[in-house]
Chains A and B, each alone.
Chain A
Amino acid sequence: MPFYRAHVLVCCGNTCAVRGGRALLQLLAKEVEQKGLAHEIRVVETGCLGISEHGPAMVVYPEGVVYAGVKASDVPDIVEEHLLKGRIVERLVYRGQQAAPLEPAAKLTYFGKQQKIILQNCGVIDPRSIEEYIAVGGYEGLGKALTQMTPMQVVEEVKNSGLRGRGGAAFPAGLKWEGVADAPGLNKVVICNADEGEPGNFKDRLILEGDPHLVLEAMVIAGYAVGANKGYVYIRGEYRQSVDNFEHAIAEARKIGLLGTNIFDSGFDFDVFVYKGAGAYVCGEETALIESLEGQRGEPRLKPPFPTAHGLWGLPTLVNNVETLANVPHIISQGAYWFSGIGTERSKGTKIFSPCGDVLTPGVIEVPFGISVREVLYDIAGGPKGADIKAVLIGGPSGVVIGQESFDRKFAFEDLSPGAGAMIVIDETKCMVDIAANCLKFFADESCGQCVPCREGCKRMLDVLEGWTRGLGDSGELEMIKRLGRGMQLASRCGLGQFAPVALLSSMELFEEEFRAHVVDHVCPAGVCDMHETAVEIEEQLTWPK
């Protein structure tokens, strides 16, 4: 391996690529070559740094300086000044939202309050090089599991770590693993759920794009622990770069024997296959995902039986979210004791959040459990973009709405559950009724139509809410919507219908005045809704029997 005196890592994650990251990479490589530096400076494509709003971004090591908002015209400066003469190009240095003294990435506030475990390699290594992953300690966890531990010990380790599912449901991962390990049957399956579809979430994409080997390693460990020989990654079809990077990772791992037969000479065989989703939010539900993997319409199954006993083709199946799995190699290599020391008493480890909407620095961040909403919003994500923050939709449309009074609550399963990690920030200029209607529109579109409470419930709710945003509300509807919502929560077959009314109901409780203004007085306090359908028109529309 040649020795380089400096590395330049250019973010080519989806969002930076949108802003021209890839063109920049090529330009930089050319410039370095022209200056005759190609043998001492390495230009690497990497996954997202989490500061997508300020992309395209790059990091120069060994200094660890982050440059953001780099344009093609800046490239000669970076090469000439920094790489050749060793002088940092100050005007391009990323300093978080305010001017801070020039410091390496690790010390910036934006990065400083974060604790990167899962994302530690994202933006640091080349995701398309297994050698780089191994160089930073990759596949050590797998080696340890396969050569020094029995499958049962691996399950115990995950149980002891206190790791819980990161897809939103927060089920203890160790118990799930134990369920599959204990299920009778010779053939078992591991599925990585990468069908990230909840609006506001894009963390799994970042992991898959930036560090695919981490997830791959975790799947092999999981296979060993539960006794499976096959793994499937179900990646949503829109994530082309994730699919590409993951397939590349699989090919690399097969080549050097980290996938296939007799891995690490342990006698254990395992292989992984990528399965592309085709655009259906409901397939993020584990049984719908399994149906889809079998080549069917993605309609959720009745539970029980749970996939741990009866999953893909009726086999015992372990389904874990990308982020959940990404914790596993670290837990195995550093131990459950180390992992359980991070976070709070009942929420172990870190959580990835994706603040977006009306916030200054949208992106992907990783923080230990126990951090307050305020810290994430103001210290890391930079606070509001314009007007004051009015509310935050935690986890996405299927999560809860919280207001200012809850900003000191802590993210933890025993306090404020983070859902899948989205934080959709809503400022004072926005209308909560309009946003609730928008959320319901999403569920009405995405309901698979299989069960009545969800199919009809989402549609009826949307109809009524759209009426409210047009000035067609009727005061009786406030109570009716709450009853309908409770019915959907109780009677829907899967999480989609059960959680569809949550954002609306929590929003109605917090912003009762705003909802009453729409429904009773036909006024939108934020001035967002077009309430032009006046009382006379309403009368006309209500001539049908009530």
Chain B
Amino acid sequence: MAINESCCCSAEEEAAVQAAINDFEPIRTNLIPILHRIQDELGQIPGWAMEAVADKLDIPLADVWGTASFYTMFDLKGRAKHIIRLCESPPCHITGAKKVLEALKDELGIEPGEVTEDGLFGLELVSCFGVCGVAPAMIVDHQVYGNLTPEMVPDVIAKYREG
């Protein structure tokens, strides 16, 4: 995985990143909170933002990248508008996550780890996020969907297609 080099950031994005950085005391322990803020603001953590963070905290860029890439909630590639995260841990696996996955693959025409051609959806398989009472479950962006059946998939996807 390479750092997203594109620096076609808008002035707004740059301001958002600067604001995120300046909101915290520039110490190492605040690295993850800063990254969280950038992820929330931009929906991803681009390379130029990591450089800005490294500068401010006075640590190597490699260190920022090494930490950011360790955690699954940080998206360093920023590929899709909506990320669909389907849980594949045992409680969801037992209650039929595989069938839901098939339905998602059919509906989107992609495999897990890929992005649709229009850049609208990314599909990921993730570990448990603690809503096992309504397994199988998935998260689209921050919205949780539970008690999923393959039949429900097209409706959910349609909601996001319409925007």
Contact = CB atoms under 8 A, between A and B. Distances in A.
Answer yes or no: do A and B interact.
yes
Interface in B23-60: 27-33, 35-36
B99 interface: no
Nearest to B64: A295
B66 interface: yes
A237 B36 CA distance: 9
Bin chain A's interface residue count. 35 or more
A173 to B, nearest CB: 23
A260 interface: no
A435 B94 CA distance: 8
Residue from A296, A364, A439 having most chain B Cβ neighbours under 10 A? A296
A358 B94 contact: yes
Interface stretch (A150-158, A194-202, A482-490): A194-202
A446 B70 CA distance: 10
Contact of B133 (A53, A198, A293, A446): A53
Contacts of A448: 70
Given A199-B127, A296-B67, A442-B89, A53 B134 contact: yes
Contacts of A294: 28-29
Interface string B75-93: 0000000000000111101
Residue from A202, A396, A446 having most chain B Cβ neighbours under 10 A? A202
Interface stretch (B2-10, B101-109, B114-122, B140-148): B140-148
Contact of B90 (A276, A362, A439): A439
B91 A199 contact: yes
Contacts of B74: 278-279
A188 to B, nearest CB: 17
A316 B70 CA distance: 26
Interface string A352-392: 00101110001110000000000000000000000000000
A52 B134 contact: yes
Contacts, number: 145
B61 interface: no
A356 B132 contact: yes
Contact of A280 (B30, B72, B130): B72
B157 interface: no
Contacts of B31: 295
Interface stretch (A14-22, A63-71, A133-141, A515-523): A14-22
A281 B95 CA distance: 22
A349 interface: no
Contacts of B129: 238
A237 to B, nearest CB: 5
B128 interface: yes
A348 to B, nearest CB: 27
B135 interface: yes
B132 A200 contact: yes
17 contacts: A19-B134, A52-B134, A53-B147, A202-B130, A237-B73, A277-B71, A278-B36, A278-B72, A278-B73, A295-B28, A357-B132, A362-B134, A397-B90, A425-B94, A442-B89, A442-B128, A445-B127
Interface of A: 14-15, 17-19, 52-53, 196-202, 205, 236-240, 275-281, 292-298, 354, 356-358, 362-364, 393, 396-397, 422, 424-426, 430, 435, 438-439, 441-442, 445-446, 448
Q: Which 10 A-B pairs have the closest CB atoms?
A: A199-B89, A278-B71, A279-B72, A199-B128, A52-B133, A279-B73, A295-B31, A356-B132, A295-B28, A297-B70
